[in-house]
Amino acid sequence: MSYEEFLKWDGQNQHVEWVDGEVIAMPPISGAHNDVGNYLIRLFGEFLDHSNIGVIKTDPFQMKASPDLPGRAPDILFVARRNLRRLHETYLQGPADLVVEIISPGSQTLDRVTKFSEYQRGGVREYWLIDPARRTAEVYRRGRDGRFRPVAVGEDGIFRSVAMKGLWVKVDWLWDRPPIEEVRREWGIV
């Protein structure tokens, strides 16, 4: 089926992506994946409520980073205000500014290899790869050469987003999940 047909498709399993004309069911997510994802959505939402720099969308919302790439449904994607014109009802036409994928047992190769390569080729500016089982968070930024480069987490355990200007996250928050009020205080947006 074409990508346009896929976007209108009303199938049974909506945890799917479009790859080479086929609907591909995604592996089930783990409880830890769900917990980290929900927490990040709350953090991002809180930050965006106070900064008004763009919007987030979540799976199953589609991203078609490039015409020659599959239609993917990242766990979380961020679109900066300057790129909001590329948002359509059910998909983003072009790359997100920031994509977050949370690894589940069945998505290791898909997230680390396949999507990494596609997001890099498609022009995603920043890619976060979070592995709840290993309690690791990797951040990659697009360099001038179009390739992702790893970004080191600071000695303070914080990584700072360039794509979501002004956002910083303590990696431990992903596992400890402090109350949002506490995070707001640390961000200075009480």
- Under-50 pLDDT residues of the chain: none
Q: Angle 113-37-69 (CA atoms, 0-180°, nearest 5)?
A: 35
Please check whether residue 56 is in contact with residue 43, taking contact to mean a CB–CB distance below 8 angstroms: no
pLDDT at position 13 is: 56
Domain boundaries, the chain: 28-187
Phi, psi of 59 (to 5 degrees): -55, 125
Res 66: pLDDT: 96
Protein fold of 28-187: tt1808, chain A (3.90.1570)
pLDDT of residue 107: 86
pLDDT of residue 156: 92
pLDDT attached to residue 42: 96
Give yes or no for a contact between 75 and 1, defined as CB atoms under 8 angstroms apart.
no
Question: Taking the model in full, what pTM does it have?
Answer: 0.92
Q: What is the pLDDT of residue 168?
A: 96
Beta bridge partners of 18: 23, 71
Classify burial at 184, counting beta carbons within 10 Å of its beta carbon; exposed 0-12, middle 13-18, buried 19 or more. Answer: middle
